[in-house]
Amino acid sequence: MFSTLSRVAPAPSRSILQHASPQIPKVAVLTGASRALSSTPPSQKEVTLLQDKKNGFGFARFDVVELSSGFLSFPEDDWLRLVDKVHSYKLKAKPELGIQFGAGGDTPASGLEAIGTSDPAKLVNMGRKFLDAGVERLMIESEGITENVQSWRTDVVSKIMKELPPERVMFEAADPKVYNWYIREFGIDVNLFVDHSQIVQLSCLRHGIWGTADTWGKIVSFRPE
């Protein structure tokens, strides 16, 4: 969610909170089952207070806000108004779209399957509206596609890649076998969201120096100067 991060030296929590409280802006956020809206405009770079388990409290700067409905049924026009609200603060809205209602919880695959999924065309249609509203990049939720499913919905991924600009889409792929498949099927330029601990592995895969049996030595590209 945070595109640029900076930390300050550790300091006693009380003094940091006293100093920071008047300066912390409130931004429009919709994530999971919690919602928070405020009209307080931030100053300069937006600042939020994060709790660090090791060093107490510190500051983090960010300019991207991920908007995710998760367990919420949210009208499309309200989604677009929320995007406009984020953009009005000079922040970048990154909506998360998916086909699985209830994504993000501890419901097992069988339970999510019982709930059912939405039509991928709905995701594509909403994605187009977000892009028309000035969204720079869309996040595609993995649950219902490659996570917590009996079998992967590769048809959904293919539809998204066909009907939305690939360079404006990012897929959640927090599992080596998942991002290995994405790179194999769509090439080294596909945008993937992985855990920070997997960045080196993914980068090596893109450069053809790591892979599984189906990708080792087979990931290539042609980039004439």
With 90 as the cut, is the pLDDT of residue 106 above it?
no
12 inside domain: no
User: What sign has the CA pseudo-torsion 191, 194, 198, 200?
Assistant: positive
Range of the domain at 117: 64-172
188 inside domain: no
List CB contacts of 122: < 8 A, sequence separation 6 or more: 99
Domain count, the chain: 1
| 41-73: burial string, b at 16+ Cβ within 10 Å, e else | ebeeebbbeeeeeeeebbbbebebbbbbbbeee
| C-alpha closest to that of 140 among 84, 68, 65, 92 | 68
The residue with tokens 């977000």 is: 130
Note if the pTM is more than 0.85. Answer: no
The CATH number covering residue 166 comes to 3.20.20.70
Mean per-residue pLDDT, 25-41: 32
What pLDDT does residue 37 have?
32
184 inside domain: no
